[in-house]
Amino acid sequence: MKKYGLHIFVVVLFVSLILKLGAPIQVWAAGFENGSREKKIGSYYIWIGSDSQTIRISKSKKGKGTVLVKAAKGRQMRNCFSDGKTVYYVESKSMDDEGHTVDYIYQIRTNKKGKKYLNKVRNFSVFAAWYKGKVYMSCCSDEFWDLVHTYCLDTKTNKVRCVMKDAEVWMQQGKYLIASPNSGDVSPLDLYTYNCVSGKRVRITRKNHTVQIVGGKLYYAEYLNDSYEIMNTFRIRSCNLSGTGKKTIVKSIQATSIGKMTSKYVYYKIIREWGNSYYDDYYRYVIKTKKSQSLTASQYRE
């Protein structure tokens, strides 16, 4: 692992997530989402201004909106997280040239009332989830940008504690958070489920490739080989969100990567070599018939 700089940190996290999942990230956060100029949360668009000094708010997708809150002198806005009524946000202060930061967490109402300082962390990355007054966030270690821990801020006591080391939240449904290390590559990874009520973390597999929530259950693809290759052998399994009730759906499937998984189908991609070039073939495996159907790229991504 390498020491990180803030300028590459966000890019690396984003790329690694896309590689690991191989499919759109699914997040259910009890109505809370990371702010964006492109997506409405409740009645508002809530986003960090282009100056990185303000959080702006608007009921319209067009225009500059109005300033909800401004960062203190010497700090920058890093992230905002809202359900359309309450906004949690972070003001960061750089500590050194390595990209280490001290990050101050606040809350404010969308009506500009109730601004409150909650607590601070180091090397904040992103808000990840919310459950019954507890805010979960990713923070990097002081030494390595690819070692990410999950912290919990209890907004009733304002106390912060690390709840999962070397694991960050990929998705949430209800009280369950699905998490995995941020390795920065596509090698087999540990996959965990975390219960926000009991505080218990359960390892689902040590060799995860991708995971999705389908109909209240987890569907995940395990590597049967020990490392990522152009061609891999996967096993498709399902289990309850608690990690119990594991069931094998497909014993073995050859693919470069696995896409969408459902109770009826498994979508997968094969990268093929032709001379000095490579091209992608797309397929859908029908679980009932145990046969594969060829797909176009657009069908694969539907």
Query: Residue 268's closest CA among 239, 237, 293?
Result: 293
> Across the beta sheet with 148-154, what order do the strands follow?
124-131, 134-140, 148-154, 159-164
User: Confidence class of residue 31 from pLDDT cuts 50, 70 and 90?
Assistant: confident
Contact between residue 149 and residue 164 where contact means Cβ atoms under 8 Å apart: yes
Per DSSP, 26 falls in state P
Lowest mean pLDDT among 88-102, 195-209, 256-270: 88-102
Residue 91 tokens, joined: 């003001």
Global confidence as pTM: 0.86
Lowest mean pLDDT among 25-34, 152-161, 206-215, 263-272: 25-34
Q: Compare 5 and 239 and report the one with higher pLDDT.
A: 239
Q: What percent of the chain has pLDDT over 70?
A: 89
pLDDT tens digits, 219-251: 999 999 998 889 999 999 999 999 999 999 999
Q: What are the CB-based long-range contacts (under 8 Å, 24+) for 131-137?
A: 131/30, 131/172, 131/174, 131/175, 131/177, 131/196, 132/30, 132/196, 134/196, 135/81, 135/88, 135/105, 136/163, 136/169, 136/177, 136/196
Q: Per-residue pLDDT averaged across 30-46, rounded?
A: 91
Amino acid at residue number 239: C
Dist. CA 169–CA 149, nearest whole Å: 9
The mean pLDDT of the chain is 89
CB within 8 Å of 111: residues ≥ 6 apart: none
pLDDT tens digits, 135-154: 999 999 988 877 999 999 99
Query: Residue 195's closest CA among 160, 245, 128, 243?
Result: 243
Query: Residue 284's closest CA among 236, 230, 239?
Result: 236
Strands 101-109 vs 44-48: parallel, antiparallel or unpaired: unpaired
- Number of other residues whose CB lies within 10 A of the CB of residue 36: 13
Residue 270 tokens, joined: 């094969």
Q: What percent of the chain has pLDDT over 90?
A: 80
